Chains A and B, each alone.
Chain A
């Protein structure tokens, strides 16, 4: 099997239009961040009760998806599946791009974004957040090294090790992301060791969905061949990842239902939580998991490109809904400082906290997505990330038969 990688030409009006559009969203995102920074967080939807708002929903989604976008590369290098090898470079690029987009949102949403240098120079080594700073930089480094071994034949021999390192690191990274929440002992909605493995499985499905979308778009838009058998394989895999994620979600809520002290919170999310309950059942479960699984596990349905793309988009939307439920729903539920007592105060003790995301927050989040897309769009033009052909015959002779 010989694969030729080639940059996309990137001279067509369509390419520039795409890049222009993405650039516009990046600018809008930066403008939103500037607006929020200039006026203070008073112009956002956040309050002293809901402190992590819409930007965190996007940021955490992107960071989790970043780790999962590395799936194809990991399967190729760590599990030695040659059919996935031609997919590995793009996989690394998308992973790095998503992480960069997510981090941009996270950084620009800080109360003092001007102090990023402080975040990089003062470390409290007990803080999961501080660990994450290292996890992010490590992820960039390992994936970059891995890409280097793939793109430069003189160091190609080290590819396996670099791939292995990147694989281990991505698992640690997502453990770290899940632990940001899992280590919050004070909040009923988060303190669970399950969050770390759950985030890992979520990353598989989010990342795979984003990866498939990028893959299909770049092949269709550049008119390069993309094999049905290959897509079929990836689609099925995505189906299993969604099933795995769903399993964790079920176990998470089942364990919570077992502990009496979590009943109030569970009832809130599953039954009485209004927008959170709707987002959970309709967004996360129905549209984000069940419908895509119906498509992906059905050979006829998943063979349709349109339906496959729909399934991937639904996974992304379901993922955002899930993050909304987890991050904002978790904060909306009041802390129980006085168990057994009804609480009332000027600081909104004992009541469900309202939150409505403001436009700038949403735009900042979309800006992060745009940054990720811009990195991919420019990346495939300047370096050889994409094989000329991913037709079944070129990728895996066995699959073509």
Chain B
């Protein structure tokens, strides 16, 4: 049910229940509760939808010509920096020019980790899937390489592996004939680290990408989104993206 249309009594009741549950939780196991909000999950527990990982890209901080994030992504995930039409590119820098004002922008585009991902809808085998914490992934064991997800993605975020792969990064298995895309560095996130691009951007001194839990009102990302106007790419499709852009 839509919040706005909710019956006020229902809403009261819900608020009351939420508040009591929260109080009970705080009273019984404060440590566990706080830990869950602050981090993804302890390594021995399954992913939960209490967390929704997201990224905020501040286009005012992002420098034209800088591709530290792109380089870091390739290194972290074990693909080169090739830019042939057949090469994998999980993240790319897009240079924009406003057709009316001539104003320019430069920003990274990667898998937007939609809450309603079209790739997951169309994938015949279920190889494209969304984790409970909002990260959209491809299961390389059941991907048959039909490329339907690539046809369906509004952001051109997916790449097909055209050639045999050598020297793989064991954290990020990749394979010929399968489709792949930005995983938000899920292997790092599950170890409580930041995605490689976020780290690289900070290191380069721009800090244009913020990573965090969109569901946690105290996270920096949530605060920034609450404070500033942000936008989603192709907002008309109403896919509720995990990646947002600020400053345009």
**Complex: how many Å from CA A64 to CA B93?**
40
**Complex: how many Å from CA A80 to CA B152?**
42
Closest to B95 in A: A344
Taking the closest CB of chain A, its distance from the CB of B139, in whole angstroms, is: 9
Residues of B within 8 A of A124 (CB): 120-121, 123-126
B105 & A337 in contact (Cβ 8 Å cutoff): no
B122 & A183 in contact (Cβ 8 Å cutoff): yes
Residues of A within 8 A of B83 (CB): 346-347
Residue tally, chain A, CB below 8 Å to B: 49
Within 8 Å of chain B (Cβ to Cβ): is A128? yes
Within 8 Å of chain A (Cβ to Cβ): is B183? no
Contact with B along A121-155 (1 / 0, CB 8 A): 01110111110010000000000000000000000
A48 & B150 in contact (Cβ 8 Å cutoff): yes
Residues of B within 8 A of A354 (CB): 85
Closest to A336 in B: B234
Q: Which of B7-15, B160-168, B208-216 contacts A (4 or more CB under 8 A)?
A: B160-168
Q: Which of B41-49, B171-179, B219-227 contacts A (4 or more CB under 8 A)?
A: B171-179
Within 8 Å of chain A (Cβ to Cβ): is B21? no
Q: Which of B22-30, B32-40, B96-104, B198-206 contacts A (4 or more CB under 8 A)?
A: B96-104
In-complex Cβ contact of B99 among A116, A185, A341, A348 (8 A): A341
Q: Which of A107-115, A159-167, A372-380 contacts B (4 or more CB under 8 A)?
A: A107-115
A111 & B125 in contact (Cβ 8 Å cutoff): no
Contact with B along A339-350 (1 / 0, CB 8 A): 011111111110
Closest to B162 in A: A42
Within 8 Å of chain B (Cβ to Cβ): is A249? no
Taking the closest CB of chain B, its distance from the CB of A189, in whole angstroms, is: 10
Taking the closest CB of chain A, its distance from the CB of B98, in whole angstroms, is: 6
**Complex: how many Å from CA A267 to CA B178?**
34
Closest to B103 in A: A341
Interface residues of A in 353-375 (CB under 8 A from B): 353-354
Given A337-B156, A338-B233, A340-B100, answer yes or no on A112-B144 (Cβ-Cβ < 8 Å).
Answer: yes
B122 & A349 in contact (Cβ 8 Å cutoff): no
Residues of B within 8 A of A46 (CB): 86, 160, 162
Within 8 Å of chain B (Cβ to Cβ): is A6? no
Residues of B within 8 A of A345 (CB): 92-95, 109
Within 8 Å of chain B (Cβ to Cβ): is A236? no
B124 & A52 in contact (Cβ 8 Å cutoff): no
Contact with B along A249-273 (1 / 0, CB 8 A): 0000000000000000000000000
Taking the closest CB of chain A, its distance from the CB of B105, in whole angstroms, is: 7
Residues of B within 8 A of A400 (CB): none
Interface residues of A in 282-333 (CB under 8 A from B): 331
Residues of A within 8 A of B160 (CB): 41, 46, 48, 51, 111
Within 8 Å of chain B (Cβ to Cβ): is A275? no
Given A48-B87, A51-B151, A337-B156, answer yes or no on A42-B96 (Cβ-Cβ < 8 Å).
Answer: no
Residues of B within 8 A of A349 (CB): 92, 94, 109, 156
B124 & A130 in contact (Cβ 8 Å cutoff): yes
In-complex Cβ contact of B233 among A130, A337, A342 (8 A): A337
A118 & B144 in contact (Cβ 8 Å cutoff): yes
Within 8 Å of chain B (Cβ to Cβ): is A192? no
B147 & A51 in contact (Cβ 8 Å cutoff): yes
Contact with B along A35-48 (1 / 0, CB 8 A): 00001111000111
Closest to A335 in B: B156
In-complex Cβ contact of B151 among A41, A42, A187 (8 A): A187
Residues of B within 8 A of A335 (CB): 154-156
Within 8 Å of chain A (Cβ to Cβ): is B153? yes
Residues of B within 8 A of A168 (CB): none
Residues of B within 8 A of A331 (CB): 151
Residues of A within 8 A of B100 (CB): 340
Closest to A130 in B: B124
**Complex: how many Å from CA A340 to CA B86?**
28
Within 8 Å of chain B (Cβ to Cβ): is A1? no
B94 & A122 in contact (Cβ 8 Å cutoff): no
Residues of A within 8 A of B95 (CB): 343-345
Return the 8 tightest CB-CB contacts between A and B, nearest first: A111-B145, A111-B177, A186-B154, A47-B85, A129-B124, A51-B147, A346-B83, A42-B162
Q: Please give 14 more A-B residue pairs, beta carbons under 8 A apart, in addition to A42-B162, A338-B94.
A: A40-B164, A40-B176, A51-B147, A51-B151, A122-B125, A122-B127, A180-B148, A183-B122, A337-B109, A337-B156, A337-B234, A343-B94, A349-B94, A349-B109
Interface pairs (21), CB distance under 8 Å: A46-B160, A51-B147, A110-B144, A111-B143, A111-B177, A122-B126, A123-B125, A124-B126, A127-B148, A129-B122, A183-B122, A184-B151, A185-B152, A335-B154, A337-B156, A340-B99, A341-B98, A342-B96, A342-B99, A345-B95, A345-B109
